[in-house]
Structure 1
Amino acid sequence: MILVMWVIALMAVLLGSFALIARTENLESRHLFDATTARYDAIAGIELALFQLRNPDSQQRWVADGRPYEFPYEGATVHVEITNESGKIDLNVADSLTLTTLFQSIGLDLDAADALSDAIQDWRDADSQVRPHGAEAPQYAAAGLDYGPTNAPFQTVSEVQQVLGMNYEIFKRIEPAITVYSGARTPNAAYAPYEALMAIPGMTAQLAQQIIAVRQSQPPGTAGAIQGLALPGGASIMASGGSLTYSIKSKATLSNGVSITLDATVRAGGMSSSGRPYTVLRWRDGEAS
């Protein structure tokens, strides 16, 4: 009888372990399935955004000024935001004042802002001359770093994290405002995100928020100056222009709450090696939540 009881107890333990393993594997499989489904739904959001940006009907064409677009897709809800890269600050051509103002807008004092501005310019220029607050190879060596500035244009936005004086906290705060794809010295206010607008000298938080609210209330196809608003200094804000390069953030949320966000920079036009009418320049795949 004792032996039988021990065998029954052992069988109960084995069955319980098997049930736990089966449940764990089922949950893992479900999570993987949901994450994959959400990822492809988010990809659909990017594809639709690119299609709508080239819509021949200007009254239906999506506008790349950060305004939200949301639509149902295969049981999921897809939320898309598009920003024209011309609205951002190009690290390779931005002048000292724009860069310094950008860093001051996130709370850095003038000395720290000047240092980062000059260090960025020393990184990208072709010479080894140190700007007044900048850094070339000797300064990197003195800081204990085993690398120095490339003395060449930035190839990616994340490369700026290697600049002397930059840290991850500062980078995360300026990342929405910077690019390497616009080629413009100053951001185009018709498409600029809040962080980039704040880098315009004389800009206030209230005016930046007002610019975003007014321009996003403009219907698609609107051209000309945005009435009732002007940049500091009196320049008009033109609801036109822009480039063919876009940052697209697409978040897909399933009915059970699982979501995933994709963040891509895409250049439209031409034909890529994959046969698609656009080229992916940057791709960041978010984690499922």
Structure 2
Amino acid sequence: MNSSKRLPRGLPRAPERGVAFLLVLWVVAMLSVLLGSFALVARTELTQSRHLFDTTQARYAAEAGLDLAVYELRKSDPMMRWVGDGRPYSFGFGDADVEVRITDDSGKIDLNAPNEQMLTNLFAARGLDPDRAQGLAAAIKDWIDPDDDTTLNGAELAQYKAAGLSYGPRNAPFDTVLELQQVLGMNYELFSKVEPALTIYSGQGVPNLANAPIEVLDAQEGGSADCSAQIVEWRRSFQPGDPAAPPQPECATQAGMSIPMAAGGGLTYSVKSRAKLPNGASTTLDATIRMGGINAAGRPYVILRWRDGENS
């Protein structure tokens, strides 16, 4: 009599059951990986979509700041008009908090009508040693003059070649302020410090101190960083059109500076509009505009320079 046990018909042997169990585990593991990958992709796409939505919302809020600045600058009442001396103006736009700063370009140093001494002072006030500051100011003059004669301490084609550069001065006016980075002796670190003080649109050899940014005030003979800060606070203490302005800071008088009261301003303005959302997303729009007329887009101003998307 055979005493070996027989499995019921239809029931797999033990090794077969083990293989089936492992196969089920493998399938479950693969499904888990696929599900996890899908969840990760979905989360990534959601984050990207949210970031795109936030930056777009902040961008249009910043553009609203620019449009509001134009509206406020066009007001006929000087007591109501916004002032182009860099003071901040804040307002809410939807969920965004917007801060706008306007600088009349008449208060900046014009690279195409250069005042060498003021440029030298500007570079020295931003950390360049006096000799290099003087040489850089002279190189700017050589960049825009039409001849190939080297100014004292300046730079023409021979100096650029000696520095290993494949180009020389344009011998023509600057097309943009950014072009200053190509001038021999300039570097990005210094450029980023002096850019707010520079323009190519005023046509004036001497900036209007009523609207001058703090970098230009620092470049005045006999001035100092502390005195410049006092002048900025003094300017913000009154509104153009006030019957009488408080006396200007004593340090300005001692330095021989006479700071006029801001009046109607010019036609060219640099506008920096920063919009920030509650979740921290932000966009900064930095533009230079010229007021007057109606352009093809129906706007009462012309855009001369435009830079945006700088999250900070």
- Please indicate the TM-score interval, normalised by the length of the shorter structure: over 0.9
SS in 2 for 1:49: helix
Deviation string 1:191-237 (CA, Å, 9 cap, x unpaired) is 11110111111112222111110111112434787633445325353
Out of 180, 183, 187, the position equivalent to 2:207 is 187
Out of 64, 67, 91, the position equivalent to 1:71 is 91
Q: Is the 8 A contact 1:65 1:192 kept in 2?
A: yes
SS in 2 for 1:248: strand
1:254 corresponds in structure 2 to: 277
Out of 70, 75, 91, the position equivalent to 1:55 is 75
Do structure 1's residue 92 and structure 2's residue 92 form an aligned pair?
A: no
Q: Is the 8 A contact 1:157 1:179 kept in 2?
A: yes
* Unaligned residue ranges in structure 2 (runs of 5+): 1-20
Q: Aligned equivalents of 1:169 and 1:124: distance in 2?
A: 22
Q: Is the 8 A contact 1:99 1:199 kept in 2?
A: yes
Do structure 1's residue 43 and structure 2's residue 66 form an aligned pair?
A: no
CA distance change for structure 1 residues 14 and 132 in 2, over 3 Å: closer, same or farther?
Answer: same
Larger radius of gyration: 2
TM-score by length of 1: 0.95
CA distance change for structure 1 residues 170 and 280 in 2, over 3 Å: closer, same or farther?
Answer: same
SS in 1 for 2:71: helix
Out of 278, 294, 311, the position equivalent to 1:271 is 294
TM-score by length of 2: 0.88
TM-superposed CA distance for 1:242, in Å, is 3.2
Q: Aligned equivalents of 2:265 and 2:50: distance in 1?
A: 42
CA distance change for structure 1 residues 199 and 224 in 2, over 3 Å: closer, same or farther?
Answer: farther
SS in 1 for 2:142: helix
1:238 corresponds in structure 2 to: 261
SS in 1 for 2:112: coil
Out of 162, 165, 173, the position equivalent to 2:193 is 173
What is the percentage of aligned positions where both structures have the same residue? 56
1:29 corresponds in structure 2 to: 49
Deviation string 1:94-121 (CA, Å, 9 cap, x unpaired) is 2211111111111222210111010000
The AA in structure 2 aligned to 1:197 is L
TM-superposed CA distance for 1:160, in Å, is 0.5
Q: How many residues align?
A: 289
Q: Is the 8 A contact 2:240 2:263 kept in 1?
A: no
The AA in structure 1 aligned to 2:187 is N
Q: Is the 8 A contact 2:272 2:284 kept in 1?
A: yes
1:201 corresponds in structure 2 to: 221
TM-superposed CA distance for 1:81, in Å, is 0.6
SS in 1 for 2:310: coil
The AA in structure 2 aligned to 1:135 is A
SS in 2 for 1:186: coil
Deviation string 1:153-175 (CA, Å, 9 cap, x unpaired) is 11110000000011101101111
Q: Is the 8 A contact 1:70 1:79 kept in 2?
A: yes
Deviation string 1:17-63 (CA, Å, 9 cap, x unpaired) is 10010000000000001000100010000000110011123221111
Q: Is the 8 A contact 1:224 1:238 kept in 2?
A: no
Q: Aligned equivalents of 2:115 and 2:75: distance in 1?
A: 35
1:109 corresponds in structure 2 to: 129
The AA in structure 2 aligned to 1:90 is D
